[in-house]
Structure 1
Amino acid sequence: MEFQRSHRVGDQIHKEISVLLVKGLKDPRIGFVTITSVEVTPDLHLARVFFTVMGDEKARRESEAGLKSSTPFIRRELGKRLRMRYTPDLLFCYDTSVDYGNRIDKLLQDIQDEQQDDQGDSGKD
Structure 2
Amino acid sequence: MAKNKFNDGPGPSQRQLRVGEVIRRSLSEVLARGDIHDPELNRLSITVGEVTTSPDLRIATAYVLPLGGNGSEDTLKLLARNKGELQRMIGKKVGLKYTPDLRFQLDETFDRLDETRRLFSQDNVRRDIEPDTDTPDEP
**TM-score, length-scaled by structure 2:** 0.69
Q: Which runs of 5+ in 2 are unaligned?
A: 1-11, 127-139
Taking the TM superposition and a 5 Å limit, the aligned residue runs for 1:111-122 are: 111=122
Cα gap change, 1:108/1:3 in structure 2, threshold over 3 Å: closer, same or farther?
Answer: closer
Match of 1:84 among 71, 90, 96: 96
- 1:46 equivalent in alignment to 2:56: no
Q: Tell me what 2:109 maps to.
A: 97
Work out the percentage of aligned pairs sharing the same amino acid.
Answer: 25
Report if aligned partners of 2:32, 2:45 keep a CA contact under 8 Å in 1: no
How far apart in 2 are the matches of 1:106 and 1:56?
18
2:16 to 2, 6, 18: 6
Q: Tell me the TM-score normalized by structure 1.
A: 0.76
> Which amino acid letter does the alignment assign opposite residue 16 of structure 2?
S
Q: Higher helix share goes to which structure?
A: 1
5+ unaligned residues in a row in structure 1: which ranges? 116-125
Amino acid at match of 1:22: A
Instruction: Say which of 58, 62, 67 aligns to 2:79.
Output: 67
The two structures, once aligned, show a CA RMSD in angstroms of 2.2
Q: Does 1:20 align with 2:47?
A: no
8 Å Cα contact 1:31-1:54 kept in structure 2: yes
Number of residue pairs the alignment of both structures matches: 110
